[in-house]
C-alpha cells in the first residue's frame, strides 16, 4: 500500500518545492514548438515535458482535454505521460474536472483513481456542483488507494462567481460550504488529508475560512494569467504553506528546448520557495 496522498504531497513539496507545472498541449502551443497538431506532435510534446520537469518538479498537471482532442491516440499518450512522470518521481494531478452522480461518478473514480487503471493518477480534479456528496465515490476511492481529489471551490473565471460566491440560508457562500465539506473529510488526517481544493491565484481577497481544511490547495493562474506572489499572500494568508501554485504557459512558452524549459520551471519554483513557508 502506498502512503496516503497528504503525506506524499507533503514530502514531494519538502523535497522539490511547491510548484505545480501544467502540461497543456494546446494546438497553438504545439505549433509554437514547431510540432504537428496531431498525435505524433502530442507524443513529442509530452516526452519533452517529462524530460524537462518530472525529475525536478513536485507535481505535474496534465490537462486531459488537450489529449482527448486527439482521440484514442491522444489518450494513449496521456497514459504514457502519467506512467513516465511517476516513474521519474513527480506526482501527477490529472486535470479532468469530473462531476456526476451514482454509478457514473463511481466509473469516473475507477478510471482515474483505481489501482491498475490505465489512467490512474496520484490525484484528479473534481467538480462538486451536483452536490458535494455526489463526489463520495471518488473521495472514498482516493482515500482507499492513497490518492487525492482536488475539488473546485473558488475559480478565477468570471462566470464562476455567480454560483461559487452565492450564499445559502445559513449565510455561508457556496465556496465556503465546499471548504467545510472538504475539511470534514480531512479531519484527523496527518500531515494532511486526501481532499484538496482548487482556488484561483487571481480571485483576490476572499472571506473564505481555510483554517480547518487540513488539505492541499491547487492555485491555478500563477504566471501568465496574472497571478503573483503578492496575490498568493492576499488570497491564502496563513494557508499559503499548503498551496500548490500552478503555472503552465509562463513556463511552456520556453519550449521546445528541454534545458530552457527546465530552467524556466526552476526559476519559478525557486521564486516560490522564498515566500513559501514549509
Mean pLDDT by groups of 10 residues along the chain of 278 residues: 94 96 97 98 98 98 98 98 98 98 98 98 98 98 98 94 93 97 97 98 91 97 79 91 95 97 96 67
Each residue's pLDDT tens digit, 174-188? 999 999 999 999 999
Q: How many structural domains does the chain have?
A: 1
Q: One of 26, 86, 97, 253 is an active-site residue; which one?
A: 97
Looking at residue 204, its pLDDT comes to 87
Range of the domain at 181: 5-275
Looking at residue 276, its pLDDT comes to 59
Residue 50: which CATH number?
A: 3.20.20.70
- DSSP annotation of 3 reads P
Q: Which residues of 241-277 are buried (b: 16+ CB within 10 A; e: fewer)?
A: ebbbbbbbebbbebbbebeebbebbbebbeebeeebe
Specify the pTM: 0.96
* 61 is an active site residue: no
Amino acid at each position: 500500500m502506498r502512503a496516503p496522498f497528504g503525506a506524499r504531497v507533503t514530502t514531494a513539496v519538502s523535497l522539490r518545492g511547491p510548484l505545480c507545472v501544467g502540461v497543456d498541449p494546446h494546438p497553438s502551443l504545439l505549433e509554437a514548438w514547431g510540432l504537428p497538431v496531431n498525435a505524433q506532435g502530442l507524443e513529442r510534446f509530452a516526452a519533452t515535458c517529462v524530460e524537462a520537469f518530472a525529475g525536478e518538479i513536485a507535481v505535474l498537471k496534465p490537462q486531459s482535454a488537450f489529449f482527448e482532442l486527439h482521440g484514442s491516440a491522444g489518450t494513449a499518450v496521456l497514459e504514457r505521460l502519467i506512467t513516465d512522470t511517476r516513474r521519474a518521481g513527480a506526482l501527477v494531478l490529472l486535470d479532468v474536472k469530473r462531476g456526476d452522480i451514482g454509478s457514473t461518478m463511481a466509473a469516473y473514480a475507477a478510471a482515474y483513481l483505481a489501482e491498475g487503471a490505465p489512467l490512474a493518477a496520484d490525484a484528479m480534479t473534481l467538480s462538486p456542483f451536483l452536490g458535494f456528496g455526489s463526489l463520495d465515490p471518488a473521495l472514498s476511492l482516493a482515500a482507499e488507494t492513497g490518492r487525492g481529489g482536488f475539488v473546485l471551490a473558488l475559480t478565477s473565471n468570471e462566470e464562476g462567481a455567480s454560483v461559487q460566491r452565492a450564499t445559502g440560508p445559513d449565510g455561508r457562500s457556496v465556496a465556503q460550504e465546499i471548504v467545510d465539506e472538504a475539511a470534514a473529510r480531512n479531519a484527523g488526517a496527518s500531515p494532511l488529508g486526501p481532499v484538496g481544493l482548487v482556488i484561483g491565484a487571481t480571485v483576490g481577497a476572499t472571506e473564505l475560512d481555510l483554517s480547518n481544511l487540513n488539505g492541499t490547495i491547487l492555485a491555478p493562474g500563477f504566471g501568465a494569467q496574472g497571478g503573483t506572489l503578492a496575490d498568493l499572500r492576499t488570497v491564502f494568508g496563513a494557508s499559503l504553506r499548503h498551496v500548490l501554485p500552478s503555472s503552465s504557459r509562463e513556463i511552456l512558452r520556453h519550449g521546445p528546448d528541454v534545458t530552457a524549459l527546465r530552467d524556466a520551471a526552476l526559476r519559478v519554483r525557486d521564486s516560490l520557495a522564498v515566500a513559501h513557508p514549509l
